[in-house]
Amino acid sequence: MDRRRLSVVVALLAALAAPPPLASAAGERKSVKSTAKEAAKTGGRTAKEGALTFGRSAKAFFTGGPKAAKEAWKAGAAKTKQTAKTGARSTKAAAKGE
């Protein structure tokens, strides 16, 4: 019986500690919309970089062999990672309303 009470208390505390829903006010709806836009842009840019990385490494494979392809892939992956991180920062800024 004590376990049930404890689990109910923990569940209630977790529910009370949860943040409010995002779209509770008109100003916050605008923030959600801008956050979604930034997230979509980030996804698009990252996908583009990934496709370019694949193309560059395929070209390097046929012109310089497997070693050149691996080097091109690693360079492209680093650029894709940087693009994604930059986009994540701008998405977080949009979420905060900045």
Which pLDDT tens digit goes with each residue over 63-83?
999 999 999 999 999 998 998
Question: Is 26 a residue whose pLDDT tops 90?
Answer: no
Q: Which amino acid is at 29?
A: R
For residues 18 and 49, which has the higher predicted lDDT (pLDDT)?
49
| pLDDT of 70 | 94
Burial class, 68, CB count within 10 angstroms (exposed 0-12 / middle 13-18 / buried 19+): middle
Question: Is 22 a residue whose pLDDT tops 70?
Answer: no
DSSP-assigned letter for residue 75: H
Q: What number of other Cβ atoms are within 10 A of residue 82's Cβ?
A: 11
